[in-house]
Structure 1
Amino acid sequence: MYSNLGYIRVSNRNLLIVCLSIQLAFLGTVGFDLLNLNIPVLRQLIGFIYLTFIPGFLILETLRLNKLSLIEVILYSTGLSLCFLMFLGVLINFLFPLVGISSPLSDIPLIVTISFVVILLFIFNMSTKSNSYYEFEYKNTSFLFILFLLLIPFLAIFGTLLVNFYQNNLLLMISILIIIGVVIFLVFKDSISKNVYPLSIYVISIFLLYHYSLISMDLCGWDINTEYYFSRLTVQNSFWDPDLSNNVNSMISIGVLMPVYSILLNLDLIWIFKIICPLLFSLVPLCLYSIYIKQTNEKVALLSAYFFVTLFVFYTEMLSLVRQQIAEFFLILLISLMVNGNLSNSKRSFLCIIFSFSLVVSHYGLSYIYMFSLIFSGILLFISNNLWIKKLKNMSHFINIFASPKKVFITQSYILLFVVFALAYYIYTSNSSAFLSLTRMINHTFNSIFTDFLDPGSPSGFSHITSSSISPLYNVAKYLHIFSQFLIIVGVITSLKETKFINITTEYKLFSIIYLLILVVSIVFPFIEISFSTSRIYHISLIFLSPFCVIGGITIIKLTSNILNISWTEKRFKNSLKILSIFFSILLLFNTKFIFVIANERPTSIPLGQEKIDLYGDEDDIISFYSQYHPETEINGAKWLSRYREHSFNIYADRAQVYNKLTSYIMPKEYGLVELTNDTTINENAYVFLGYSNVHFGLMFNKKYSEKSWYGINEISQILDTSFLVYSNSGSGIYYKPKV
């Protein structure tokens, strides 16, 4: 390794030796644990680096991929490592029992097998590859500023500790202002090296994810509890059973990948979900920056990635969807391949197939959306290349926009391969539960398309737009989001005619238009909300659409300048970026609920609003807050019931408890949990579980799509009065209901 004129050149052989050193260091930490010489955090730190980067980097070296930037090396290495762990884990799971190893997914089989393959890859690369270099730029980079950026994630760690133990959100509030200041500073100051932009996006992403995920010693959210249950089942059995009928269980990202991390890092699954998964997911905005910069300039790419992370879904809903976090990372890698012109067709095709298969086995919902977008994009590309359509006068300009590029990512063979693999996998795992979900969604779509279209009373994004807001501040937040969506539409239209600061590829434009249409459909048609929430579809769409919000903002400011007879100069362009940086920062203040906490107005933020929710929240706020955040007393009640219950008895609880803590520690709903509503009758031996919001506030979470989100506990008094209290603490209660 040597440095020259602002560049660092590193020999690939030196990097291979580093890989071997990390391999040996990981084995050393395992040896320390076997000798009971436990060094806190050491195995987890070295193990994470080893599992997340080393196998993938060795595969990259095997593929002879040298024309990659530092960001691409990190991202592709991580992606290939995750693929390696998932598919090797599946092979171990099914092949080892054939040779008498009854617990294939346990520490010794995993460590021996993974280490063996990694060492083989190391030997192969050392013996066959000539010496080459990776070159990384660092010129004009302020190392003090880099050090400052690296401290930002620790603000989230210390800030959440203060919230968890002292209910003090001051450090988190100050930290949010700091990350806003960082972005505005970078946009306003041209003298700061653009080499720090990727790191800035990465640390801001980690902060936003950690400021939410590290709240509580347990899991927060909904779907994550089902994911935890099936991952824990694999860890307990040292085997993944793909025949269990559940959509979540069919995902290798949950059934294999998370358990592998937990077993090899010797870290409880709860902390895998709360620490490791956000670290992986924070690579998504970093990858988006690398995608955007290939099609715009550095500051537009920075603001585009910043806009993506400002949406609350990124650091709230997504943290309770581990399988979608992993799937989104693979989707982002596929987009990166789409816009990367430095790869040969054969190598790009190989990576494309690997990442596509990994997407399929990570999340069925995102795979279906990607599958339909592939099909429609393929149809449009076919039409655009059809000679007789090109002859139509009115269509010629539109068709030229989507003329096929020289290096085609979307081919008929690729579309067919993806569709066949996805459908085959979902049909033949978990009793076709993921495939049946698709058929139910399609069936419901056709049944609802005429009855619910544009019905403001239906549960859709359109109802949120047309309904009156609960307060003036929420009205402001709503219109800020509507305005940002307007900017996206303007940006997409603008991009159809290239300007000097954008050079968006044909296929990227095509996908962007398709995902814009998907977003519009999800808002207008209520039936989409039942299968995939509008907010999540918006988040997914922003993967493609975020740059267009910036482009649209620049376009609107430019049009305003023209109307005011102000000449459009380079300085005006830079000023437009400054205005957008402030606009996105205001969005972040609203999305984190910073503004609402300051104003004492419905402070439903889990990290920021804990000390104020009981004082300033109404019944809807309280029931929403405690359906995602679970005090320790409630968790203790769920654990007690899991340990001492009679297994033949069903367990009744409100919807929030059924899908959250009872799923985490006992079983998913379909295996014996029953939703307790205000019209439920119990005529059997059963348990009734009450959680924190039930006991403290007398509020029960209502069934889905009810007019009110809650009903009073007095409405089930007949059930409780005829039951026996068998367990109680300050945050939960368990009743035994004898058979009538």
Structure 2
Amino acid sequence: MIKKVRESDVNKLIFTLFCLLIATDLSIFLNIPILREVLGVAFFSTVPGLLILSIFQLHKIKFLKKIVLSLALSIAFLMFLGLGINFIYLANIKPFSLVPLLVSLNLTMIGLMLISLKKNKDLAFHQFFNWEMNFENKSISLAIFPIMLPVLAIIGTFLMNKMEYNIIILIMLFLIPFYMVFLLIFKNKTHPSTYPLAIWLISLSLLLLNGLTSNHIFGIDVHHEYTVFNITFSQAFWDVVNNASNAYYLCTSITILPTIYAVLSNINGEYIFKIIYAFIGSLVPLVAYLTFNKYFKNDKAFLAALLIVFQNFFILSLGCTRQLVALLFFFLAVFILFDEEMSDKCRKILLILSIWTVIISHYSTAYVALALLLPIILLPFLKSLMSYLKNIKNKSINFKNFDIMVLIFAFMLVWYGVFAGIQVDAGSGSVEQISSSTASGITADSRDASVLAIFGIGVKSIPNLMSIIANDLIFLAIFIGLLGITIKFKYYREKMDFGFILGIYLFILLLIMFIIVPMVSKLFGAPRIFLQSLIFLAPAFIIGMDEVANLLRKVNLSYVLLFVLLVSLFSCSTYLQYYFYGTPYSPHYDSNGKLRGEYFIYDQEITGAQWLNNSKIDQKIYTDGIGHQRLMLGGIQFNNISQQLFLDNKTIPHGYIYEWNVNIKKGIVYTQLEEEENITNFRNLFTGKFIIYDNGYSRIWE
């Protein structure tokens, strides 16, 4: 325990933070290597949130909650401060150039420090942090061990990128289930703090594994995200007027937030998306663990959080960073909604801030979040309304939480009405497509492939079948949990908040809609929504296996079942079943992997695109369904790129054809994403064309 010293502890702490602020400023202005990168990110990603919590006087909450809230609130702080200074300074002063940004941050930070000092002048140091760490009779080794996992991820991806040496990555992947075994076997020796530390480091290692593969950003949506970041960064201004038709540009999580990090730290933009967002994403399962820990013991909360970490979409989520940020704040909103350590006033303020941050981060995540959270927030009102309508005596309508609703809807009105109208149009367009598809009947084409796979439709190989079975078993466990909650409703009502149980039912209804209603899964992405649903459904997964174990009268059997299901999911989400079956597939450790061919970008591919861009061409550039990623990183505008060449299979009289590594070396083109064809089927497209550039990894025809 950190012991109480004197009443001037907070003075010393605020003075220390002020000195750190000065040190951070100096490292940025003097551009001191390493210090600028570390302090520029670390200070402004932790201290603002810590000061906000101190102003709210949330000193009694547990240390882990305080750390997670500090980090999340700091990220939200940067996004909203960025929005504020963007409209205070406007384009003439360039608000995201170094001096205006740093001056604004310093003034705001000093203001927060002064308010915190006034509010907490009699607070002792140990009360400020509320930290207790006692490893007596507990294993320190189990707490230290997972630190090696992100280290192995960094070393392993470096060796794989440079030498195609995959042993380190495979060792890291095998160590994760082995570590799980030790935690479960020696749970009596495991310190409570070990579980959240393990969750954080496992998730960080898997995100870094994906993020650090290739020297360039890795994924699908992230290339469009990186483009809108570059626009904001190069202009030093979030130009919402001239980019009002770009739904990506209006997500501040991929424009304002990375721009602030880039200006402060001077880190290459691609590595902000590859590394900093990995650290942001690693907070997602940590928030989930804190939420689950209210209803389960540490080990079961740990296993529930792993269900999120082991989702393939989570592991690959650096390919869609705007959703990753939105997911963090949606999970945070759920955690805050059901937390009992905060005062009602603080909980309301932080809940509103979290939902606002979801709204400005990613529109489709916000739509789902609002649809699911609003009924839960309005639960006191809905329950009192039902009682009132039934004419129960002494009952009046309870308008609790209406203040939350008013502020959320007011913000939505401003955000979507003034800035992000195109995001509403995108949502309306999706609804029209769903209605049209529903009217024309149910077809396989109106379902996402992952939804069809649940029923065994579209199985491509034995490893693919193994993945389907592993995921179907997870769904079965959740269904059993839902059944258990329904049958033993009174029992689980005493263990869990009614609002949380309602959230489980609402997400189940949403997932059923994804299966039944045409186009919903295809437009919104079933894996994305399922990952979002796990903040409610992961506990149902735990309950499902507990119910099976109770039915068989073997209580500890639930741990075995949970472990087997989670390891099966983990193996399939990291493509290990393909590796052992002898099918090259993984983007991370298979040099000839199918996905590596699609997503791994070589420097020489970018060089070819840059050569084309520097040639000041004024004609359309044609490529296959994936080549546009390389062209965009080379600085070519997406509007000047056509991905339809091989899909249409029609010769073009004018323009350039861009071939990339897989086209050249493997003779494969992608007519669409994941749709491979042999390039010899399209030789007619090259008739009359001549090679004007070729570096072995990229080739340009005119």
* TM-score normalised by structure 1 residue count: 0.87
After superposition, where does 1:56-455 map in structure 2 within 5 Å? 56-97=49-90, 101=93, 103-132=94-123, 133=127, 134-140=129-135, 141-189=138-186, 190-243=188-241, 244=243, 245-316=245-316, 318-377=317-376, 384-387=383-386, 411-415=401-405, 417-422=407-412, 424-429=414-419, 432-453=421-442, 455=444
The secondary structure found in structure 2 opposite 1:702 is strand
Change (3 A) 1:494 1:420: farther
Residue 552 of structure 1 pairs with residue 563 of structure 2 = no
- Report how far residue 406 of structure 1 moved: 10
Residue 621 of structure 2 corresponds to 651
Amino acid at match of 1:195: S
Amino acid at match of 1:573: V
- Report how far residue 283 of structure 1 moved: 0.7
Change (3 A) 1:387 1:283: closer
Residue 694 of structure 2 corresponds to 728
1:638 and 1:143 map into 2 onto residues whose CA distance is 51
Amino acid at match of 1:472: I
- How many residues are matched? 687
| Unpaired runs of at least 5, structure 2 | none
Change (3 A) 1:722 1:56: same
CA shift digits 1:560-600 (9 cap, x unpaired): x1xxxxxx4xxx43342243123312221121112321221
- Report how far residue 217 of structure 1 moved: 0.5
Change (3 A) 1:65 1:488: same
CA shift digits 1:391-435 (9 cap, x unpaired): 69xxx9xxxxxx999996xx44534543453354234336x3211
- Report how far residue 349 of structure 1 moved: 1.5
Of 530, 545, 569, 1:587 maps to 569
Residue 639 of structure 1 corresponds to 610
Residue 609 of structure 1 corresponds to 590
The secondary structure found in structure 2 opposite 1:677 is helix
Change (3 A) 1:421 1:125: closer
Change (3 A) 1:481 1:113: same
The secondary structure found in structure 2 opposite 1:252 is coil
1:714 and 1:367 map into 2 onto residues whose CA distance is 45
Change (3 A) 1:520 1:250: same
Residue 470 of structure 1 pairs with residue 463 of structure 2 = no
Change (3 A) 1:230 1:468: closer
1:328 and 1:271 map into 2 onto residues whose CA distance is 21
CA shift digits 1:48-78 (9 cap, x unpaired): 2111001111111112121211121112112
1:685 and 1:541 map into 2 onto residues whose CA distance is 48
- Report how far residue 460 of structure 1 moved: 4.5
The secondary structure found in structure 2 opposite 1:158 is helix
Change (3 A) 1:458 1:589: closer
Contact 1:152-1:204 within 8 A present in 2 as well: yes
- Report how far residue 375 of structure 1 moved: 4.7
Residue 599 of structure 2 corresponds to 628
Change (3 A) 1:194 1:379: closer
Residue 556 of structure 2 corresponds to 574
Of 515, 522, 527, 1:530 maps to 522
1:18 and 1:499 map into 2 onto residues whose CA distance is 50
Residue 676 of structure 1 pairs with residue 645 of structure 2 = yes
Amino acid at match of 1:117: T
- Report how far residue 22 of structure 1 moved: 2.2
Residue 492 of structure 1 pairs with residue 482 of structure 2 = yes
2:246 and 2:109 map into 1 onto residues whose CA distance is 33
- Report how far residue 154 of structure 1 moved: 0.5
CA shift digits 1:345-383 (9 cap, x unpaired): 222121122121111110011001112223555687765
- Report how far residue 681 of structure 1 moved: 4.0
Contact 1:460-1:526 within 8 A present in 2 as well: no
Residue 52 of structure 1 pairs with residue 49 of structure 2 = no
The secondary structure found in structure 1 opposite 2:700 is strand
1:592 and 1:672 map into 2 onto residues whose CA distance is 32
Contact 2:59-2:130 within 8 A present in 1 as well: no
Change (3 A) 1:237 1:576: same
Change (3 A) 1:678 1:62: closer
1:186 and 1:73 map into 2 onto residues whose CA distance is 25
2:465 and 2:139 map into 1 onto residues whose CA distance is 41
- Report how far residue 187 of structure 1 moved: 1.5
1:334 and 1:474 map into 2 onto residues whose CA distance is 35
Change (3 A) 1:418 1:499: same
Residue 565 of structure 1 corresponds to none
The secondary structure found in structure 2 opposite 1:264 is helix
Contact 2:549-2:556 within 8 A present in 1 as well: no
- Report how far residue 302 of structure 1 moved: 0.7
Q: What is the Cα-based RMSD across aligned positions, in Å?
A: 2.9
Contact 2:150-2:205 within 8 A present in 1 as well: yes
Change (3 A) 1:127 1:371: closer
The secondary structure found in structure 2 opposite 1:710 is strand
Residue 539 of structure 1 pairs with residue 531 of structure 2 = yes
The secondary structure found in structure 2 opposite 1:151 is helix
Change (3 A) 1:116 1:457: closer
- Report how far residue 238 of structure 1 moved: 1.3
1:184 and 1:688 map into 2 onto residues whose CA distance is 53
Residue 664 of structure 1 pairs with residue 633 of structure 2 = yes
2:626 and 2:39 map into 1 onto residues whose CA distance is 38
| Unpaired runs of at least 5, structure 1 | 397-402, 562-567, 614-621
The secondary structure found in structure 1 opposite 2:521 is helix
The secondary structure found in structure 2 opposite 1:546 is helix
Change (3 A) 1:525 1:692: farther
Residue 694 of structure 1 corresponds to 663
Change (3 A) 1:96 1:379: closer
- Report how far residue 694 of structure 1 moved: 1.5
Contact 2:474-2:565 within 8 A present in 1 as well: no
